[in-house]
A and B are shown apart, each in its own frame.
Chain A
């Protein structure tokens, strides 16, 4: 209570926001959770009860370990706290075990690890300046950003309802972005390297990091027209960056290299057998592609161009994770998706290399990389849209143009997360209220941002 008094006494709205959303997360404890809950319980059990050599081989449960080693170590540490809540959850054979204490522990672990996210948001707020300091608290960019990030609705429902640990991971990402804004490039690189070894989905945005660090950190100076000055290349910086990445990777993958398990680990991390689309389609290009294929096959059957016997029975929308052949249009391979993704990110990478615009340019490139990978990637989860939405929040409080794009992105992005809560109508209602809340919030904040920045020059 003393802490509350102090925080409140200094009129600290940031603490109030952080505390408020934490309390909301506590209220979400009894909500529906998905199979991801069992996934993480299983990983707690695996890392606690089995030696390292077994971690990536264990397959009693269908939810095998498919995140990089740092996350496995994270679960290992958590499991040592878990044993005080309920020892039974750490038994590998207790499939689908979900006692009330297990639920409480898991939920609280997500809420607790979000501290890193809160800290990262605090650091991000320091990075954005306010051109005009409005008198109203609700018009200050820092306030707007804090609300957009701390109360991000997508993160709330993915982490605290559906159940995942994205909070602290996005905390790491935002922190690394903040460090790059603060010109602490080595720290930023280090944090990103660590993040990659927690969850490899962040590979989506690795090109942005790579190109930016190479161009704006390893080349220490530019010519007067902004183009690259080749003789300012700093070997020291390149080597130190390389060393950081190498050391982090060694720490992560080293033990498995020693055990000759690297191929197994990689096969777990990159399961290409899972099919082009996730069970519930992420609204990306391939979803449209599949839909088109379906429509064409129906038309083809009706017009008797196709032979019904040759059409595969399995449906892409059945909610199963499996490989599938297209009927009319050419089938898509992982390589094809990779090429499409690379083509999509080329423009932004080019801009980042040839016309660097500092950290803001990097952020823009990062968002574009995330969106491109979302649109063209192989087996993309709909949750991946958060990779674009969260960094975009940082841009949206800077310019009115970005704010309007952000409004569209966040509304559709959050709407696309709807299927994650499909099981109980109850949760649907909650989702609707919360989604309306977040949309309204975003709209209102956009309006205030427009008011505030309508006079700012473009291209800041």
Chain B
């Protein structure tokens, strides 16, 4: 069967699932005075359309930064401006300065959801398709199955099409970046990645491995000849792309500083919501600072990319990542789509990758590791069994916690009990994966392909 025909069907399935999820509620629906991320995005369209560029990031009577002030880099602002022009064409009330605050209607929801879909269709989905087509050493059918599973990943769908965000843009750009450098189009790759960073500063999390990889490439080519030329070209590309994005804000030092202050609000605190990282788990005792829950997206994307290599662990990880967002999704009344998309994703992975048949040491890429361990502990032959049991326990815990959160009321003295438990369980799982992926990197360092994908 022709590849492109099947690929189109898979993309259409992905779009259908996205669209049906978008029919549900969004963050802050009907909840004045602050509403939620949906209102934030609408507000940014209002600000960027009605105010001159110089006022976008500054507090003023027209732009109250306390009410969803812009805190993403300029590319997000330009995207909002573009959307605002379209909005103006359809219904100017949607972005009228001041009066459109808290505007909610079916038509407006359709418009906002469409902007997410279009951005997804133009940037993220083609990147996914191309990436899977470029994968080596796997059959066409597996490539298409890969696309399906990645497109069905519930976390991204629920956050972008449920809660309401534009993560697919920055993740898409980053994926184009990965594609570019994998196919030796280094300049385009770095340009794409710079665009990703300029869309959401969270992509900085990925910038170090990107930088190291490209630097490594330059070294390989020899720093005295071609390598140096490449380094210079890359540097120019990065600088040029940053200048292009930040041009309006480079005119005055105060502008640049203000944008940076908005992007990196170190005085905001370490938690904006209950988050499944170490800090959250320790907070019960220590009360430390924060990171946002949706940042899990950044980790899920690279894991999606190794779905065909380590299907069992990747699927497990991606399931946990969706689960970790449960409190947020419940707040947005997205329980049904969450459960359904998670099950769909799970079934897809199980059907196409036969994940339960790939739990041997070799399949989990732990062969070298367990050989090393067996040098000291000859009886260490049950690694694969342990992992299977851990998976079972993890899934059972997640299901139970979900049921409890949905059906029971938390005790009065501990109103956030379930959210914290979800964080805690997710965090434990993530620590396990952190250890696992590090083991793979360290013990399989001969395998260059792994390094490139997991970084």
Please list the residues of chain A having a beta carbon within 8 angstroms of any beta carbon in chain B.
1, 4-5, 8-9, 11, 13, 16, 19-20, 23-24, 26-31, 136, 138-139, 424-426, 429-430, 433-434, 436-437, 440-441, 444, 447-448
CA of A441 to CA of B10 in the docked complex: distance in angstroms?
10
Closest Cβ neighbor of A438 among chain B residues: B12
Which residues from chain A contact B351 at a C-beta distance below 8 Å? 8, 11, 13, 16
Of B8, B20, B336, which is within 8 A of A430 by CB?
B20
Bound together, the chains give a CA A436 to CA B347 distance in angstroms of 24
Expressed in whole angstroms, the Cα–Cα distance for A346 and B120 within the complex equals 54
- Considering the chains assembled together, what is the distance between the CA atoms of A444 and B19 in angstroms? 23
Does B344 touch A at the CB level, under 8 Å? yes
A438 to chain B, nearest CB (A): 9
Which chain A positions have C-beta within 8 A of B2? 444
CB of B21 within 8 A of CB of A27, answer yes
Nearest residue, chain B, Cβ from A430: B19
Determine whether B5 belongs to the interface, using a CB cutoff of 8 Å to chain A. yes
- Most chain B CB inside 10 Å of its own CB: which residue of A11, A27, A448: A27
In the A-B complex, list the 10 residue pairs whose CB atoms are closest, starting with the nearest: A27-B20, A8-B350, A437-B12, A16-B351, A26-B340, A444-B5, A23-B344, A23-B340, A30-B23, A426-B110
A26 lies within 8 A of B336 (CB): yes
Complex alpha-carbon distance, A11 and B347, angstroms: 11
Please give me the residue from chain B that is nearest to A139 by CB atom.
B1
Closest chain B CB from A253 CB (angstroms): 41
User: Would you call B445 an interface residue if the criterion is a C-beta within 8 Å of the partner chain's C-beta atoms?
Assistant: no
Contacts of B340 in A (CB 8 A): 23, 26-27
Q: How far is the CB of A333 from chain B (nearest CB, A)?
A: 43
**A30 partner residues in chain B, CB cutoff 8 A:** 23-24, 336
Knowing A27-B21, A433-B15, the reply to whether A11 touches B336 (Cβ < 8 A) is no
The reply to whether B16 and A9 contact each other, CB–CB distance below 8 Å, is no
A433, B113: Cα distance in complex, Å: 15
Docked pose: A9 CA to B8 CA in angstroms: 27
Given A9-B356, A430-B20, A437-B13, answer yes or no on A424-B8 (Cβ-Cβ < 8 Å): no
Residue of B nearest to A428 (CB): B110
Tell me if B17 is interfacial: C-beta within 8 Å of chain A.
yes
Contact bitstring B1-34, A, C-beta under 8 A = 1, else 0? 1100110110011011101110110000000000
Once the chains bind, are B350 and A5 in contact (CB under 8 Å)?
yes
Q: Are A444 and B110 in contact (CB under 8 A)?
A: no
B347 touches A441 (CB 8 A): no
18 contacts between A and B (CB under 8 A): A5-B350, A8-B350, A8-B356, A11-B351, A19-B347, A20-B344, A23-B347, A26-B340, A27-B20, A27-B21, A29-B336, A30-B23, A424-B110, A426-B23, A429-B19, A433-B12, A433-B16, A444-B5
Residues on the A chain within 8 Å of B341, using CB: 23, 27
* Whole-angstrom CA separation of A24 from B14 in the bound complex: 11
Instruction: Say how far A275's CB is from chain B's closest CB, in angstroms.
Output: 32
Residues of B within 8 A of A430 (CB): 16, 19-20, 23
Assembly CA distance A20 to B336 (angstroms): 15
Q: Mark B178-194, 1 if CB is under 8 A from A, else 0.
A: 00000000000000000
- A424 engages B356 (CB within 8 Å): no
Option from B6, B346, B354 in Cβ contact (under 8 Å) with A444: B6
Q: What is the CA–CA distance of A294 and B305 in the complex, to the nearest angstrom?
A: 60
Per-residue A-contact encoding for B100-113, CB less than 8 Å = 1, 0 else: 00000011011001
Interchain CA distance A425-B111 in the complex, whole Å: 10
Contact of A437 among B16, B24, B336, B343 (CB under 8 A): B16
- A444 touching B395, Cβ below 8 Å: no
Q: Supply 18 further A-B pairs (C-beta < 8 A) apart from A23-B340, A23-B347, A24-B344.
A: A8-B354, A11-B351, A13-B351, A16-B351, A19-B343, A23-B341, A23-B343, A27-B20, A27-B336, A29-B336, A31-B20, A424-B106, A429-B110, A433-B12, A433-B19, A436-B12, A444-B5, A444-B6
Interface check B172, CB cutoff 8 A = no
B73 at the interface (CB under 8 A from A): no
Q: Within the complex, what minimum Cβ distance (angstroms) separates A388 from chain B?
A: 24
Given contacts A1-B395, A31-B23, contact A441 B9 (CB under 8 A): yes
Residues of A close to B336: CB separation below 8 A: 26-27, 29-30
Tell me the chain B residues, 92-125 only, with Cβ under 8 Å from chain A. 106-107, 109-110, 113-114
Mark B353-366 against chain A: 1 for CB-CB distance below 8 A, else 0: 01011000000000
Closest to A13 in B: B351
Interface: B337 (CB within 8 A): yes
Do A444 and B23 form a contact, CB below 8 Å, given A23-B340, A426-B110, A433-B15? no
Write the B204-242 contact mask toward A (1 if CB under 8 angstroms, else 0).
000000000000000000000000000000000000000
Residues of chain B with a CB closer than 8 A to A444's CB:
1-2, 5-6, 9
Which of B9, B20, B110, B350 interacts with A4 by CB under 8 Å? B350
**Chain B residues positioned under 8 Å from A429 (CB to CB):** 19, 110, 114
User: With a CB–CB cut-off of 8 A, which chain B residues contact A440?
Assistant: 5, 8-9, 12
A440 to B354 alpha-carbon distance, docked (Å): 27
Chain A residues, CB < 8 A from B17: 24, 27
Give Cα A27 to B336, complex, Å.
8
* Chain A residues whose CB sits within 8 angstroms of the CB of B1 once the complex forms: 136, 138-139, 444, 448
Within the complex, the shortest CB–CB distance from B430 to chain A, in Å, comes to 22
From A451, which residue of chain B is reached at the shortest CB distance?
B1
| B107 and chain A: residue at smallest CB distance | A425
Chain A residues, Cβ within 8 Å of B16: 24, 430, 433-434, 437
B347 CB contact (under 8 Å) in A4, A9, A26, A448: A4
Q: How far is the CA of A437 from the CA of B343 in the complex (A)?
A: 21
| Distance of A394 Cα from B417 Cα, bound (Å) | 54
Which chain B residues lie closer than 8 Å to A29 at the CB level? 336
Question: B391: shortest Cβ distance to chain A, in Å?
Answer: 11
Interface-central residue, A9, A23, A31, A434, by most chain B CB under 10 Å: A23
Closest to A429 in B: B19
B12's nearest neighbour on chain A, judged by CB, is: A437
Residues of B within 8 A of A11 (CB): 351, 354
Chain B residues with Cβ under 8 A from A448's Cβ?
Answer: 1
CB distance from B342 to the nearest CB of A (A): 10
B5 nearest CB across to chain A (Å): 5
A24 cross-chain contacts in B, Cβ below 8 A: 16-17, 20, 344
Looking across the interface, which residue of chain B has its beta carbon closest to that of A444? B5
Q: Collect the chain A residues with CB atoms within 8 Å of residue B343's CB.
A: 19, 23
Question: What's the Cα separation between A429 and B15 when bound, in Å?
Answer: 11
Closest to B395 in A: A1
Please give the distance in Å from B336's CB to the nearest CB on chain A. Answer: 6
Tell me which residues from 321 to 346 in chain B have a Cβ below 8 Å from any Cβ of chain A. 336-337, 340-341, 343-344, 346
* Most A-side CB within 10 Å, residue of B6, B19, B395: B19
Chain A, Cβ-Cβ closest to B16: A433
Minimum CB–CB distance for B356 against chain A, Å: 6
How distant is the Cα of A16 from the Cα of B118 in the complex, in angstroms? 29
Task: Give chain A residues whose Cβ lies under 8 Å from the Cβ of B106.
Answer: 424, 426
Residues of B within 8 A of A433 (CB): 12, 15-16, 19
Q: Please indicate the chain A residues that have their CB under 8 angstroms from the CB of B110 in the complex.
A: 424-426, 429
CB distance from B358 to the nearest CB of A (A): 12
Known: A8-B354, A16-B347, A23-B340. Is A138-B23 also a contact (CB below 8 A)? no
What is the bound-complex CA distance between A24 and B337, given in angstroms?
Answer: 10
Whether A28 pairs with B20 at a CB distance below 8 angstroms is yes
In the bound complex, CA of A195 to CA of B24 (Å): 36
Do the beta carbons of B347 and A8 come within 8 Å of each other? yes
- The residues of A that contact B395 with a CB separation of less than 8 Å are 1
